[in-house]
Amino acid sequence: MAIIGKLFVNSLKMLVVPLVLISLICGVCGIGDIRLLGRIGTKTFLIYMMTTALAIATAIGLGSLFGIGKGMDIATEAAFEAKSAPPLLDVFSNIIPSNPISAMANGDMLSIIFFAILIGISILMVGKPAKGLVQSLELINEVIMNLAPYGVFALLTKAMAELGLDLIWSLLGYVAVLVGSLAFHFFITMMIVLKLFSGLSVRTFLAKMREVQIFAFSTSSSNATIPITLRTVTKRMGVNNSVASFTVPFGATINMDGTAIMQGTATIFIANIYGIDLGVTEYLTVILMSVLASVGTAGVPGVGLIMLSMVFAQVGLPIEGIGLILGVDRILDMLRTAVNVGGDAAVTAIVAKSEDKMDVAIYNDPDAGTKDVFDGHIDKDSKREFSEVFSDGLMGSEYDDVDRRK
Ligand code: ASP
């Protein structure tokens, strides 16, 4: 088991750099046509990022408060030393890699991220001809994910053999704090943000979101949920399609509050398990990296956890820690996806209301749009609504994805 686990950890490490590079390029490409970004786009982007940062802060706060994973002190096999954080000035001046290949060879996350964002923007500027390239990159992401389960089994068995039931108790603490943070963020933080910025009824929002969240929960995929989120915000909440057709797919691609919460909680948990102390600089780094990692996470099952390797690499935590939490990730993925789409819809409502692109009468009518609830069938209309913005721009690949899955 130790050998198989080690092989898995090595393959995970092997994937970190290509995965971060590729996923972030895909994340940036999710913006679609960059010229359409404009004022609404910028506003949406900023609110998405702000709520994601709030989400991580909640996770870190609760994780530290409950001290999840403390007292385990697993020694890492690889001689591991927490990197001392480099001076801030160096961090900034080294962000632009003078040699991207050497940045990748050294695993300089920030430089790789910068490079990825730059390539993503360039692909957007090339436009349609680059679509094939982006689809190939998305496929590579999927291929990588298929390797995961075998290694997880071995890693968990080995850890259990060494630590026995203590590990299970510790993992239960992780799950409990994570679920608590997800609930806190969605039901408290996001609802305060919704009320504060839009004045809309929180109760109505929650009632109308139920169906979307159940769908997200059962598919664990923000992408697959796009049609039903879109339908709910337009038909049931009265958001004008011109706003929703941009903000919903955009959010499903880059806005992942639930995923970010998992990454924050997991960082605290794994640091404690290995007895590594994180300082203020590390916490700030975790916030920044988790925001970026959630942008890079594709809205399909399980990717968030693999993107966690990017956070770990930058903070200096052992990547093999991911193997320990992978075993409980399936159900957590379902929950965090429900929070992810909840955030997309809340921000959509806020932006639409502030832009006067919302029919508040529809929002307040409890029965609005109930006749054409989503029945799993993607009709031509909703497809057109979406592709107006995206296929004319660059991507539209989320829809191909949905079709393929169907
Ligand atoms: N499953 C999540 C989503 O689609 C992404 C993740 O965190 O793995 O939103």
Q: What's 347-383 look like in SS3?
A: HHHHHHHHCCCECHHHHHCCCCCCCCCCCCCCCHHHH
For ligand 1, say whether the CB of 342 is within 6 Å of any of its atoms: no
Crossing angle for the helix pair 329-354 and 38-66, nearest 10 degrees?
140
pLDDT band at 184 (very low <50, low <70, confident <90, very high): very high
Give me the mean pLDDT over the 51-66 stretch. 92
For ligand 1, say whether the CB of 304 is within 6 Å of any of its atoms: yes
**Residue 344 CA to ligand 1 centre (angstroms):** 13
Cα 351–357–361 angle (5° rounding)? 110
Q: What percent of the chain has pLDDT over 70?
A: 75
Interatomic CA distance for residues 160 and 283, integer angstroms: 29
Query: What confidence tens digit (pLDDT) does each residue in 253-264 have?
Result: 889 999 999 999
Q: What is residue 213's predicted lDDT score, i.e. its pLDDT?
A: 92
Rounded to two decimals, the pTM is: 0.76
Q: What is residue 322's predicted lDDT score, i.e. its pLDDT?
A: 84
Amino acid at 284: L
Residue nearest to atom 1 of ligand 1 (CA): 301
Q: What is the mean pLDDT of the chain?
A: 79
Q: Which atom of ligand 1 is nearest to the CA of 301?
A: 1
For ligand 1, pick from 221, 228, 254 the residue to mutate: most ligand atoms within 8 Å of CB.
Answer: 221
Amino acid at 245: S
Interatomic CA distance for residues 100 and 87, integer angstroms: 21
Give me the mean pLDDT over the 9-33 stretch. 72
Query: What confidence tens digit (pLDDT) does each residue in 156-178 have?
Result: 666 666 666 777 888 899 999 99
Q: What is residue 110's predicted lDDT score, i.e. its pLDDT?
A: 75
Least confident of 195-199, 347-351, 399-403: 399-403
Measure Cα distances from 117 to 33, 122, 163, 296, 399 in Å.
15, 9, 41, 10, 23
Q: What is residue 205's predicted lDDT score, i.e. its pLDDT?
A: 95
Specify the higher pLDDT residue, 248 or 13.
248
For ligand 1, say whether the CB of 148 is within 6 Å of any of its atoms: no
Query: What confidence tens digit (pLDDT) does each residue in 304-337 have?
Result: 887 888 888 888 888 878 878 877 888 899 999 9
For ligand 1, pick from 259, 328, 339 the residue to mutate: most ligand atoms within 8 Å of CB.
Answer: 259
Least confident of 69-83, 151-165, 214-228, 243-257: 69-83
How does DSSP classify residue 130? G
Least confident of 15-29, 151-165, 269-283: 151-165
Q: Which atom of ligand 1 is nearest to the CA of 294?
A: 7
For ligand 1, say whether the CB of 259 is within 6 Å of any of its atoms: yes
**Residue 290 CA to ligand 1 centre (angstroms):** 13
Q: Which atom of ligand 1 is nearest to the CA of 306?
A: 8
Q: What is residue 227's predicted lDDT score, i.e. its pLDDT?
A: 87
Q: Which atom of ligand 1 is nearest to the CA of 223?
A: 4
CB 274 within 8 Å of CB 321: yes
Least confident of 58-67, 101-110, 171-180, 256-265: 101-110
Cα 146–149–150 angle (5° rounding)? 105
pLDDT band at 129 (very low <50, low <70, confident <90, very high): confident
How does DSSP classify residue 143? H
Interatomic CA distance for residues 86 and 331, integer angstroms: 37
For ligand 1, say whether the CB of 229 is within 6 Å of any of its atoms: no
Instruction: Check whether 182 has a pLDDT greater than 90.
Output: yes
Specify the higher pLDDT residue, 382 or 234.
234
Residue nearest to atom 6 of ligand 1 (CA): 304
Query: What confidence tens digit (pLDDT) does each residue in 198-222 have?
Result: 999 999 999 999 999 999 998 888 8
Amino acid at 299: G
Specify the higher pLDDT residue, 245 or 343.
343
Q: Which atom of ligand 1 is nearest to the CA of 225?
A: 4
Give me the mean pLDDT over the 38-57 stretch. 88
pLDDT band at 120 (very low <50, low <70, confident <90, very high): confident
For ligand 1, say whether the CB of 170 is within 6 Å of any of its atoms: no
For ligand 1, say whether the CB of 220 is within 6 Å of any of its atoms: yes
For ligand 1, say whether the CB of 302 is within 6 Å of any of its atoms: yes
For ligand 1, say whether the CB of 231 is within 6 Å of any of its atoms: no
For ligand 1, say whether the CB of 297 is within 6 Å of any of its atoms: yes
**Residue 162 CA to ligand 1 centre (angstroms):** 31
Q: Which atom of ligand 1 is nearest to the CA of 262?
A: 7
Q: Which atom of ligand 1 is nearest to the CA of 299?
A: 4
For ligand 1, say whether the CB of 27 is within 6 Å of any of its atoms: no
Q: Which atom of ligand 1 is nearest to the CA of 221?
A: 4
CB-based contacts of 177: which residues, under 8 Å, 6+ apart?
A: 62, 63, 66, 68, 265, 269
Interatomic CA distance for residues 23 and 299, integer angstroms: 11
Give me the mean pLDDT over the 388-396 stretch. 39
Interatomic CA distance for residues 281 and 87, integer angstroms: 10
For ligand 1, pick from 185, 215, 256 the residue to mutate: most ligand atoms within 8 Å of CB.
Answer: 256
Instruction: Check whether 389 has a pLDDT greater than 60.
Output: no
Specify the higher pLDDT residue, 368 or 402.
368
- 359-391 residues labelled b (16+ CB within 10 A) or e (exposed): ebeebeeeebbeeeebeeebeeebbebbbebbb
Q: What is residue 289's predicted lDDT score, i.e. its pLDDT?
A: 87
For ligand 1, say whether the CB of 303 is within 6 Å of any of its atoms: yes
Instruction: Check whether 29 has a pLDDT greater than 60.
Output: yes
